Amino acid sequence: MNEKRVKYLAIRSINNGDLYDSEDIVKEFKLHNVEVRNFYYLSISDETNRSVNSNLIDYLQG
């Protein structure tokens, strides 16, 4: 069974801020060929090309 890996990662935490701002963690992910991106610049779209960033942010913030 083949495992799928993520290509990009963006995490925003209320307490710790953006994962993108932590250089040590970014370097660790880079060793595994995962590019850490700034959460607010990440663009996610569905099949109709509508941006779903606002819905995702609302969902993650609870």
Amino acid in position 4: K
pLDDT of residue 49: 47
Burial of 53 per CB tally in 10 Å (0-12, 13-18, 19+): middle
pLDDT of residue 22: 80
pLDDT in tens, 1-60: 567 676 777 777 666 677 777 888 888 888 888 888 777 776 665 555 455 555 555 555
pLDDT of residue 45: 56
Instruction: Read off the pTM.
Output: 0.48
Give me 25's structure tokens.
């963690």
3-state secondary structure the chain: CCCCCCCEECCEECCCEEHHHCHHHHHHHHHCCCEECCHHHCCCECCCCCECHHHHHHHHHC
